[in-house]
Amino acid sequence: MTGANNSLYLTPNVTSREGLVEIKIGLLLPYSLPNNLTQQLTYSGTSAIRLAASEINENHLIPGAYITLVLKDSFNGADPENSGAAQAIFSTVSLLQTEGGVSGVIGDVSSALTVQSALLTSRLDIPQCSYSAGSTQLSSKDDYGYFFRTIPTELMFGRVMMEFVASRGWQKVAVFYTGDELGSQMMDSIALQARKRNITIGYRSAFWEMESGSDIGPGLDALKASGQQIVLVAAVGEPQIRLMTEAVKRGLISKDYVWLTINQVTEPLLGSAGSTLKPSDLNGLFMFDNMLRLHGYQPYEEFLDKWAALNPEEYPYSGKREISSNEAQAYSCMMVMAHGFANAVKGNWTALHLLASGRLGHKLTPTAMNTNYTGPGGPMVLDDMGDVVYGNFILYNFQNGRVVSIGTSYSGAFNLSSPPMYFDGTYNTPSDSAPLRVLNPAFGSAIGVVIIAIAGLSILFSLVTTCIVILYRNSQIIKASSPLFCCLELFGFILLYFSTIMGLDIPTKFVCIARPMTLNIGFVLVVSNIVAKNFRVYRIFHNIYVTKRVIRDSHLLKIVGTLMSVNLAIMTVWFVKTPPKLQQYIMTDSTTYWGCNSQSGESTPYFVVLFIYNVSLLLIATYLAYRNRNVAANYNECREIAFVVYNILLSGCIAMPTVFLPQDQYLTKFFLSNVVLLFGTTVSLMFMFLPKL
């Protein structure tokens, strides 16, 4: 019958009302909205709710009470332009003013309308359930303390998407999300699920709901530069369509990429007005949607039996063993609410009357609706936010112009029923990222050939010079310089050149230890010999009590050996305690390099001690060289040595910043350090030995 507030009252399957309390449940749905999909959701959902109410009354699920449904149109059919928030609020107020009030509300079908009505019902402590509104805004218990739902929120798509990603063995993904609150929440949910599965989000980009694609283009260009090839779209509706359309235009839906979207998007992409897309443009697309049909699941099959037995003239969309939309969730809404009511009153007559008058709200929060009910939509377990803990999803794959179901996720268990097909028409799982370009210069590369040529020629020159020094060790010039000093200096230069060659190509574990040892020993040999010789010269010419002006090899070896022993002791302890490890560093621009990680937290103290020691050695050599720059003619090579020391000091000052450069500056560090090392070593070698030849 029609009530005073233009509402329809239905009391299913009640033969006698004597001694029973009437419990009114409001159905706030857009009955007059001229939209095929919305009408289907509305009328099929109403039929399912009526079926549930009939069973509740027949089985006396709420002892001492029966259910009456109050149907209220939430759409102002007379004025389509004014049928949004204002009409939803008006309809809700009208429903709540029903004679005797309502004990609960079911509705609305859209999130936009539901957020308005649920705001009012929660203020009045009236429970409200929706079987199709998935907005995360409704999860806020500050505003919607009495709202719950039987359909998963959009956030749950992040979990099932990541389950599919993990099943394919992908370790890196990119994510596009809208910059609004929903998009940010979905991004956070995806990030959480990714961390649980050790999946890296290599690229993420937010875009906004604008009519043009101007905000999308730079993000898509950055995606291409990032090298990420598995793309998740955390957006729904028009923003998602704009993103996918722009991606097709830029050639980013191709054999190099895999796209994962929420809901079936092929129809709006291909069928929208002005669309120029072809089915082949979307081949291999993966789409995740709510799974409404749980064939083989006993509660669902039992529901279908009852659904098929109904008269479709009285119950629209019924009369067949098939559902058209969210009937299972609508049925569960009514059942969960009834079980919650029964649990709250526990047969108490006073509590039953309080429930009927809408004054038992404090006992009807979402957590009170957790009664272990399992229905045709699966277990209805609610969290503190009133959202279902478990969702059921279906995975669609667009294969050669057809939407094909290839997998499901039921109550957290993901399963593929058939192999997924990708853009190129094959079933071969693609890589999650573009092949990384290795930055380590190879031996055969142009820079590698140059370094090997310079170092090789310099090593050859050093070896030839060593032979000359040995052969002509008794000549006046060589003897004055000390053949041992010359040989040790040349050997130090050779080691420095070898260290530059070992810096090429991808290092091995052996190179990780050999290169720093070679570099360090070579440096100490060159500098400590200079320190030893200049110290003896300094003592000879600045100490009036020294009468012997001969620099013995034993004195030279004693000083060099002492300085080298201290250096080697530091390095030995360092490498024994925290040996360098081969490590790969991956950049955001699809490049990578291999390096030896010897500056971790545990090795930092050793590095600092060694650094201070070598710098101190170089400063001492500089001081002595400066003091000895004007000694007698027989020792005039002190000027050459002074220049060599100044050159080493300058090279060290230029190369020092490379120690502190960040990881993504590998090439800068490589070129600067090697250029300085080659230049400083070669200039020192030539300036010290060419005058002697």
pLDDT per residue over 471-484, tens digit each?
888 887 777 778 88
Domain 156-290+394-416 has CATH 3.40.50.300: no
pLDDT band per the 50, 70, 90 thresholds, residue 4? very low
Across 110-124, 131-145, 393-407, the highest mean pLDDT is recorded for 393-407
Domain 438-692 has CATH 1.20.1070.10: yes
Which pLDDT score is estimated for 635? 47
Task: Measure the CA–CA gap between 419 and 81, rounded to whole angstroms.
Answer: 47
pLDDT band per the 50, 70, 90 thresholds, residue 230? very high
Asked if residue 122 has pLDDT above 60, the reply is yes
pLDDT band per the 50, 70, 90 thresholds, residue 275? confident
Which pLDDT score is estimated for 539? 67
Asked if residue 268 has pLDDT above 90, the reply is no
Tokens of 194: 């990714």
Any idea which residue has 């490890």 for tokens? 581
Which pLDDT score is estimated for 598? 65
Give bridge partners of residue 398 from the DSSP assignment: 403
pLDDT per residue over 521-556, tens digit each?
998 888 888 887 777 776 666 654 544 555 577 777
Please check whether residue 146 is in contact with residue 389, taking contact to mean a CB–CB distance below 8 angstroms: no
Torsion angle defined by CA atoms of residues 522, 526, 527 and 528, in that order, rounded to the nearest 10 degrees: 90
Mean predicted confidence (pLDDT) in 586-610? 77
pLDDT per residue over 17-65, tens digit each?
788 899 999 999 998 888 778 889 999 999 999 999 999 999 999 999 9
Class of domain 8-151+297-385: alpha beta
Q: Which residues contact 380 (CB under 8 A, 6 or more apart)?
A: 150, 332, 335, 336, 369, 373, 374, 388
pLDDT band per the 50, 70, 90 thresholds, residue 629? low
Please check whether residue 116 is in contact with residue 128, taking contact to mean a CB–CB distance below 8 angstroms: no
The pTM of the full predicted model, rounded to 2 decimals, is 0.62
Which pLDDT score is estimated for 669? 87
Which pLDDT score is estimated for 84? 62
pLDDT per residue over 419-447, tens digit each?
999 999 999 999 988 777 888 899 888 99
HSE-up (13 A, CA, CB side) for residue 442: 4
Which pLDDT score is estimated for 273? 67
Task: Measure the CA–CA gap between 681 and 657, rounded to whole angstroms.
Answer: 18
Any idea which residue has 């033969």 for tokens? 15
Q: Residues spanned by CATH 1.20.1070.10 within the chain?
A: 438-692
Q: Residues spanned by CATH 3.40.50.2300 within the chain?
A: 8-151+297-385, 156-290+394-416
Which pLDDT score is estimated for 2? 43
3-state secondary structure 282-343: HCCCEEEEECCCCCCCHHHHHHHHHHHCCCCCCCCCCCCCCCCCCHHHHHHHHHHHHHHHHH
Mean predicted confidence (pLDDT) in 282-302? 90
Q: What is the DSSP letter of 58?
A: H
Tokens of 198: 């050790």
Asked if residue 652 has pLDDT above 90, the reply is no
Which pLDDT score is estimated for 597? 78
pLDDT band per the 50, 70, 90 thresholds, residue 319? very high
Tokens of 168: 């394919």
Which pLDDT score is estimated for 638? 67
Which pLDDT score is estimated for 1? 39
Q: What is the mean pLDDT of the chain?
A: 85
